[in-house]
Structure 1
Amino acid sequence: MLYLVGLGLGDAKDITVRGLEIVKAADQVYLEAYTSILTVGQEALESFYGREIIVADREFVEQKAESFIESARNSNIAFLVVGDPFGATTHTDLVLRAKEVGVPFQVVHNTSILNAVGCCGLQLYSFGETVSIPFWTETWKPDSFLEKIEGNLERGLHTLCLLDIKVKEQTVENMMKNRPIFEPPRFMSNQQAAKQLIEIVNSRNHTTRLTGETLCVGVARVGWPDQKISACTLQEMITCELGQPLHSLVIVGKIHPLELDFLRMFSPDIVPLNG
């Protein structure tokens, strides 16, 4: 049996009781280590679970997943995912691969940023499509996600922006020369995301619904003891310091008075122009 087990967003103890029982009884335990991070590392997880954990990086999951999927045909394999197993398309692909070769699987759900973002007080049913904002390079500056943000704003809906994570990435030169040299981990901040969005708005000659005055909410380390939330305009978000990763950014649509009251617990002086 292949078990995809959600770990939640905080530390080792956020795993569900059912998930912990599966981990303790599994023949092998893998930890997916590139779509998100916890407050604790592999050693803390191993100590709490009482199990050795095999770290599965992007290359392993995307290119060698068949090995542990096939192992799950005759043994119990636990694949641990920060957040919820279906919070990333990678894990959907694992289920499809297991189904294709006839390997049984079960999913143990947990909290993800997709629902925990409600901690900022914006109602989950008022969110539209979620977008991902990637790191730009000198030669690659995608902006297609703006269309979804614009569509959400037109309907008065909030947009959760998931910010890029780069873990165990190689430069183009090292990839071409097949050198196993990896760049330091990088995690996009709310400030970087806001800066890129402002650049897109400026490039469209300010003809977008999204403007520098649009109300936004920056959330950092959701589910962690030092969780931080701040609301301000998109322009102000460029200088809004939320500390260590992980960060997410919410573009606020039409705001209800109760949502505004909740946001003012974190940012008392906000004056929304969105709704």
Structure 2
Amino acid sequence: MRQTVNNISMRPELGVVTMLTFIGLGLWDENDVSLKGLEAIREADVVYAEFYTSRLMGTTLEKMEALYGKPVKVLVREDVEQHPKDNVLKDALDKKVVFLTGGDAMVATTHVDLRLRAQKMGIDTAIIHGASISSAVCGATGLQNYRFGKSATIAFPYKNIISETPYDTIKMNKANGLHTLLFLDIDREKGYMTINRGVELLLAVEERRKEGVLTDALGVGIARAGSPAPCVKAAKLDELKALDFGAPLHIMVVPAELHFLEEEALQALAGLKT
């Protein structure tokens, strides 16, 4: 028998409240979590987190646990995507569980999949949103949010094969007058992809295909968004490749033709030279 009160699943026969709440932690450090999110973490029976889609570069697990007042179980990709019934979903059957992610809670499709699995098992879910890099990029650069098209991820080459999906995404978006947000790969062995490496991979595809998609194309790089000292720079891609953006996390944009206000913003905020 199950009752639902205020969207929280009740199991009277067990005398417990069950719930899986996804909480976005924001962009930089442990203090970016919302008050609502912090309250939910402190009230949870079990706290899980994953940092393979994104992570808070301005803090440590120890600082997070000190703020929360309880331990955090960090999961790797395989735990979440292949074996969630052995951890998160198993605990959420008879406990209040929170699942922490960098940025906003539902930007990554892996989190949507986990939520759907939970609901199929009769586990009620909720979301407490956090600041997302997708919107932070607009604030950091002055690029207008409604002018962004499909995004893509520049992945590390696999067996020396470079994915051409980001190039094709830029090509499609440019044809429609839209900007392209490019996420940069995070790999347990290879580390954090830089803007410089991302540009190199894009230009390598351009060199092979010779379609002119990136000829004289502008790029905008953003590093450490949400930190006290973010780095934002705009230049032609071949120039951007040589610039120093410092420590991760990095992300980049290949804009379409700029609106005059966007151009003015990039000159003021990202050092764009005309």
Pair in the same fold by TM > 0.5: yes
Instruction: Report the Cα distance in structure 2 between the residues aligned to 1:208 and 1:162, rounded to whole angstroms.
Output: 22
In the other structure, the counterpart of 1:188 is: 193
TM-score by length of 2: 0.89
Specify every segment of 5 or more residues in structure 2 that has no aligned partner in the other structure, as ranges: 1-18
SS at match of 1:270: coil
Q: CA shift at 1:59, angstroms?
A: 2.2
1:149 aligns with 2:170: yes
Partner of 1:258: 261
> How far apart, CA to CA, are the structure 2 residues paired with 1:31 and 1:204?
41
- The answer for the alignment partner of 2:82 in structure 1 is 63
**Which residue of structure 1 lines up, in the alignment, with residue 240 of structure 2?**
237
Partner of 2:25: 7
Residue equivalent to 2:93? 73
Please state how far the C-alpha of 1:210 moved relative to its aligned partner. Answer: 2.1
Of 121, 124, 129 in structure 2, the residue corresponding to residue 109 of structure 1 is 129
Q: 1:269 to 1:146 in 2, by over 3 A?
A: closer
Measured in 1, the distance between the counterparts of 2:127 and 2:101 equals 11
Alignment-derived partner of residue 219 in structure 2: 216
Q: Whose strand fraction is larger, Structure 1's or Structure 2's?
A: 2
State how far apart, in whole Å, the 1-side matches of 2:114 and 2:158 are: 30
Q: Is the 8 A contact 1:150 1:208 kept in 2?
A: no
Work out whether residues 190 and 247 of structure 1, in 8 Å CA contact, stay in contact via their aligned partners in 2. Answer: yes
SS state at 2:226 partner: coil
For 1:94, what is the secondary structure of its paired residue? helix
Aligned to 1:135: 156
The answer to whether the 8 A contact 2:162-2:205 is kept is no
Letter in 1 for 2:195: N
**Equivalent residue letter for 1:191:** N
> Residue 34 in 1 paired to residue 39 in 2?
no
**Cα 1:269/1:55, change in 2 over 3 Å:** closer
Q: TM-score, normalised by structure 1?
A: 0.88
Give aligned-pair identity as a percent.
Answer: 37
Matches of 1:113 and 1:229, distance apart in 2: 13
Instruction: Look up the SS of the partner of 1:3 in the other structure.
Output: strand
Give the aligned partner of residue 22 of structure 1: 40
Query: Any unmatched runs of 5+ in structure 1?
Result: 168-182
CA-atom RMSD in angstroms: 1.3
Q: Is the 8 A contact 1:201 1:208 kept in 2?
A: yes
Residues 26 and 154 of structure 1, relative CA distance in 2, 3 Å threshold = same
| CA displacement 1:47-77 (0-9 Å, x = unmatched) | 1111111111112212321132132122100
